[in-house]
Structure 1
Amino acid sequence: MSTITLTLEQQAKKAKAASALTGLLSTREKNEALLEMADQLEKDTDVILEKNQVDLRTGKDNDLSEALLDRLKLTEERIKGMADGFRQVASLSDPIGSKLSDWKRPNGLSISQVRVPLGVIGIIYEARPNVTADAAALCLKTGNAALLRGSSSAYHSNKAIVDSIHKALQTKQITEDAVQLVEDTSREAAAVMFTLNEYLDVLIPRGGAGLIQTVVKQSSIPVLETGVGNCHVFIDQSAQTEMAVSIAVNAKTQRPSVCNAAETILIHDAWLSKNGEKLINALLNHGVEIRGDEKLQALSSSVKPVTEADYSDEFLDLKVAMKTVDSTEDAVAHIKAYGTGHTEAIVTESEENKQFFFQHLDAAALYHNASTRFTDGFEFGFGAEIGISTQKLHARGPMGLEALTSSKYLVEGAGQIKE
């Protein structure tokens, strides 16, 4: 047995033991720990920022893209946001022990279904230190233990955040094994995690398409699959000009490196002829590189020719593909061909076209007259999220507390036997 395998098995075994304890914590105990974690994170802001600078310098030396560097970067505001996430999760109702349903059988048996923790949750993620805090918060509130494996690019940041969390857990006499960081960021370590069925109950990958598909294909542990976000904004013929421009620009530029940022803007031909230059100029003013069809190129020499690959790409950058369509039906057909089932938006004043868009598209989140940037656990009121699921089994969309639970049946009788 290799040293990596031995080390990871020991960590996973400790996580399994810890999950038996965290699953018994009261709501009050969990909430007090979460509030302590929030306070401690803010106290450790300077240390966390210092370690984050180490990761950022290394990332720049390794020629990480601006999009990845933005995901990696921490600021006082972002750390405060993580701390506020702990506090919001503490304020939410505890799902553990809640009754999903109950009924009585003709033979007198009383059956109830209640929520329980999943157990040990392994999370493999890339260049997003905030995931470390979000995962710890959600797992603790749901009585789960977390085994976290971040990327090498965020190692020092993740370690500093977990160290801060451990201080808070110590203060509240909760085992540190409830939140553990896998410090070996090699591919071999990830491959070992895929096989720890005896200890891990589920794996959740967060990152690019390559990481997600690797986990899905190689893991022998059940996977809660988070999805790539090739998201669209469709501007319909009846869309209000200022609203459409504002939504499209926000969806693309507010934070282009995240999965709910728009990657393609579809525009009804009639709207384009009246307002296309205004939209193009607004995007250019925000530093966006536009790749569009011939009608869009005719409106501005700054629009580059679009390729088939551009419609499939998740740019995660200040780049956007744009296409002219003749109808809502054409827009829906394009999204069905290239979308990833993450988030799609329509800007329209037509109730008929909105309903067609909502009824004929199958995605985790569909929007009418709002930016795609709201597909987020915090924005949905979940406090934080473990990821955005684009699959259909168990959980879909932003995965908050309930997505990290299972259920069990409690059956009460009075001596009944099966005849």
Structure 2
Amino acid sequence: MPLESLIVDMAKKSRSAARIMAKADTNIKNAALLKIADAIEADKADIQAANQKDLEYGREKGLSPAMLDRLAVTDKVIQSMIQGLKEVAALEDPVGSVTKAYTRPNGLQVSRVRVPLGVIGIIYESRPNVTVDAACLCLKSGNAVILRGGSESINSNQALASSVSKALLSVGLPGEAVQVVPVRDREAVNHLLKQEELIDLIIPRGGESLIRFVAENSRIPVLKHYKGVCHVYVDETADHQMAVDVAFNAKVHRPGVCNAMETLLVNRKEAAAFLPLMAEKFKAAGVVMRGCPETMKIVPFAEPADETDWPAEYLDLIVAVKVVGDMDEAMDHIAIYGSNHSEAIITADYSRARRFVREVDASVVLVNASTRFNDGGQLGLGAEMGISTSKLHAYGPMGLEELTTTKFVVFGDGQVRI
């Protein structure tokens, strides 16, 4: 079958499956997730055998040890998938919940009810566990999903999708509710991005280049975040020990993730007292500080920062440091260089905290807490599809609720419009 026809056929099957998933009972969806967990356990040998083919392919292609590690489906990864399925099964089903209800003067009863999005296309890189994580979230929220993983993980993804489809059929749900694009050809992505009449939403997960490609070539709405240039601002009223602890955690806990702090902004009134404390702790952890001229006067071992440092997403033990005159200058800096991801203020002044929260534009704004908390699990969503820095229709971590939308439901008793 020609590649374009293959993708169109998959999209049509997904559309049909989505109609069935949208009306599936919560108990059936939960049973399906638990059956998928059982199937993955039962099929572990086959899944790992398929994964070995991908690892061999990856070695031949010269993938780095870090990339091969992301690609490997170890026993630990299998157990993590199974645990994730059980956790999502235990979450509250958002489908059918009423977000608002009211009665109009003419007697019409109006409500807004959560409904699935329909068909979701997910384009991602390397990690085969995303196949199961994404599938279970889409299924629980009543959607169908088409998954296009990286070329290096095609065998693992197909093996996992086979286990998922088998489990879905066992509880009377359509196996086509979860499909994996079965070819490595990158042209498949272009065809997928043109199916605007059959696919409702595209979610890319991966590096900035992948996300930009998808956003620039899709006819379908895209939920995205390009990068995480996250800031912590140490206000003039900040408790210094709290600021040291929060900024250290934001940078060092996991420096290679999108919610790690990349730039530390320090109020000039506190810089001379605070920065030596911060610098000592950063230095002990091997963090390279790249500072503005004022920072370098206070921290002599800091490297000089230039204009390329302020918008940089290092994803490493490197932090840019800038001394600012006041909170307005800090917020101006964030407005210019931030990526609408995660922004934090350390302050003891409630009114200043409220102003920062109100005026800073980011998917998560934190007061006296690390940027590392911009995470679905940490914010109580239970699981997440990713973090969106788009504003339509989700902003921030995307859990089950963000994989739904709302429709109006109107009950009347014969009203006509005059």
The normalised TM-score by structure 2 is 0.88
Change (3 A) 1:50 1:322: farther
Q: Is the 8 A contact 1:145 1:178 kept in 2?
A: yes
Q: Tell me the alpha carbon deviations over residues 387-418 of structure 1, each in whole angstroms, 9 at most, x when there is no partner.
A: 21222222211111222112333334444555
2: distance between equivalents of 1:268 and 1:58?
51
CA spacing shift, 1:408–1:348, aligned 2, 3 Å: closer
Conserved 8 A contact 2:154-2:183:
no
Segment of structure 1 superposing worse, 77-86 or 381-390:
77-86
What does 1:141-152 align with in structure 2 at a 5 Å threshold? 141-152=140-151
1:203 and 2:197 are equivalent in the alignment: no
Would you say 1:213 and 2:186 are equivalent positions? no
Partner of 1:121: 120
Question: Where do 1:98-177 residues align within 5 Å?
Answer: 98-177=97-176
Report the CA distance shift for 1:151/1:299 in structure 2 as closer, same or farther (over 3 A). farther
CA apart distance, 1:64: 5.9
Deviation, structure 1 residue 178? 0.9
Q: CA separation in 2, counterparts of 1:354 and 1:76?
A: 45
Amino acid at match of 1:324: V
C-alpha offsets along residues 13-46 of structure 1, whole Å, 9 cap, x if unaligned? 1111111111121000111222333444456667
Q: CA offsets, 1:22-73, max 9 Å, x none?
A: 1121000111222333444456667666766765676677666787677656
Change (3 A) 1:76 1:260: farther
CA contact (8 A) 1:227 1:342 kept: no
1:296 shift after superposition: 3.6
1:382 aligned residue:
381
Q: 1:126 to 1:94 in 2, by over 3 A?
A: same
Separation (CA, whole Å) in 2 of partners of 1:332 and 1:77: 43
Q: Distance in 1 between matches of 2:316 and 2:395?
A: 25
AA aligned to 1:254 is H
Aligned-pair distance for 1:76? 5.2
Superposition deviation, residue 272 in structure 1: 3.5
* Aligned counterparts, 1:36-55, within 5 A: 36-41=35-40
The answer to whether structure 1 residue 409 and structure 2 residue 408 are counterparts is yes
Q: Tell me the SS of whatever aligns to 1:309.
A: coil
Aligned to 1:391: 390
Superposed displacement of residue 150, structure 1: 1.9
Q: 254-263 or 288-297, which moves further after superposition? A: 288-297
C-alpha distance after superposition, 1:370-396 (max 9, x if no partner): 111111111122121122122222221
**Does the residue aligned with 1:190 lie in a helix, a strand or coil?**
helix
Percent identity, aligned pairs only, is 45
Q: Given the superposition, is the C-alpha separation of residues 282 and 58 from structure 1 closer, same or farther in structure 2, using an over 3 Å criterion?
A: farther
Query: Is the 8 Å Cα contact of residues 244 and 347 (structure 1) preserved in structure 2?
Result: yes
Partners of 2:324 and 2:169 lie apart in 1 by 58
Corresponding letter in the other structure for 1:172: V
Q: Which residue of 1 aligns with 2:279?
A: 280
- 2:11 matched to which residue of 1? 12
Paired amino acid for 1:162? A
Is 1:232 the counterpart of 2:216? The answer is no
Q: Is the CA contact 1:89–1:382 (under 8 Å) kept in the aligned structure 2? A: no
The aligned residue for residue 187 of structure 1 is 186
Please give the alpha-carbon distance, in whole angstroms, between the structure 2 residues aligned to 1:52 and 1:284: 40
Tell which deviates more after alignment, 77-86 or 377-386.
Answer: 77-86
1:347 equivalent in alignment to 2:351: no
Name the counterpart of 1:251. 250
Stretch of structure 1 that moved more, 72-81 or 136-145? 72-81
Deviation of 1:174 after TM superposition, in Å, equals 2.6
Distance 1:62 1:156 in 2: 15
Inter-partner Cα distance in structure 1 for 2:46 and 2:55: 14
**TM-aligned CA distance change 1:350 to 1:386, over 3 Å:** same
Structure 1: any 5+ residue segments left out of the alignment?
A: none
The structural deviation recorded for 1:246 is 2.3
Q: 1:360 aligns to what?
A: 359
What is the alpha-carbon distance in structure 1 between the residues aligned to residue 107 and residue 57 of structure 2? 66
Q: In the TM superposition, what are the counterparts of 1:6-85 in structure 2 within 5 Å?
A: 6-41=5-40, 79-85=78-84
**Secondary structure at 2:309's aligned position in 1?**
helix
CA distance in 2 between partners of 1:211 and 1:241 (Å): 40
Q: Which residue of 1 aligns with 2:241?
A: 242
Measure, in 2, the Cα distance between the counterparts of 1:72 and 1:302.
Answer: 39
Distance in 1 (CA, whole Å) between partners of 2:283 and 2:55 is 28
- Larger CA deviation: 66-75 vs 384-393: 66-75
Higher alpha-carbon deviation: 264-273 or 388-397? 264-273
Local SS of the residue matching 1:340: coil
Q: Which amino acid aligns with 1:387?
A: G
| CA apart distance, 1:227 | 4.4
Q: CA deviation at 1:312?
A: 0.8
Please tell me whether the aligned partners of residues 44 and 164 of structure 1 are also in contact (alpha carbons under 8 angstroms): yes
Q: CA deviation at 1:196?
A: 0.7
What is the rounded CA distance, in whole Å, between the counterparts of 2:155 and 2:317 in structure 1? 27
Letter of the structure 2 residue corresponding to residue 121 of structure 1: I
Aligned letter for 1:287? G
Instruction: Give, as a single letter, the amino acid of the residue that structure 1 aligns with 2:290.
Output: R
**Residue type at the aligned position of 2:323:** T
Instruction: Give TM-score scaled by structure 1 length.
Output: 0.88
